Amino acid sequence: MKIIRLIYSIFSVVLVAAIILITLLALLLGITGIDRNNHRSVFGFRAFIVLSGSMFPTFDEGSIIIVQDVGIDKLKVGDILTFIPQRSTDPLTHRIYEIYEDGGNKMFITKGDANNTVDNPIEAGQILGRTVFYMNGLGLFILRLRTPPGIAGMIAVIAIGLFIIPYLLSPREEKTKKAVSEKTDDPEGNDKENPDNTEE
């Protein structure tokens, strides 16, 4: 029983931590990344869901990425940028392939890890930030959680993990405590319902 309770305690901590992480990422994604025409940041961070496989195998389609505002001078070849390409409103996330200056302006050439060709050069004003965190598959998972079936499933998991399982584990312990309590109150083993200890 102690092992079961230890496993459940670990499960509860992991479940709560996962719920907090997913909730925070979902909120950040909702504020910064769902509306493609709105790229507001929260304390310098933005969240996006990868919609193509151009960065495979670094991260897959459906991954969630966290992007941080950084100074242009801190960017270097090999960093993964999220930026707005020319003649587009959809953000793109590719790796810096080359950095050069043109007329005093720093320019960046990027390339998807899975692509054979480089992208058109971008300027500093097109950059939304550098990728500092990503998790494969979590983006699609969060999107599914925003649907009614996803919300219902999340509530079910929370209910099972935090309420139903403890309820199923508690009766045996309560019965044990009750038996010990009754034995302590009546050490001679007398029948409380039949004090004379005689059969009716």
Domain extent listing, the chain: 2-148
H or E stretch including 130? Answer: strand 127-135
Per-residue pLDDT tens digits for 108-151: 999 999 999 999 999 998 999 999 988 887 767 666 666 667 66
pLDDT for the residue numbered 106: 92
Which pLDDT score is estimated for 186? 53
Q: Could you tell me which residues are beta bridge partners of residue 134?
A: 65
CATH 2.10.109.10 fits 2-148, yes or no: yes
* Structure letter (DSSP) for residue 81: E
d(CA 173, CA 85): 62
* pLDDT for residue 64: 86
Please tell me the predicted confidence (pLDDT) of residue 9. 73
Tens digit of pLDDT at every position of the chain (200 positions)? 667 767 767 777 777 777 777 676 666 666 555 444 556 667 788 888 888 889 999 988 888 888 999 988 999 999 999 999 988 888 899 999 999 998 888 999 999 999 999 999 999 989 999 999 888 877 676 666 666 676 676 677 667 666 666 666 665 555 455 555 655 555 555 555 554 544 44
CA atoms within 13 A on the CB side of 8: 16
Q: Which helix (H) or strand (E) holds 155?
A: helix 148-159
- 124 is written with which tokens? 């500093």
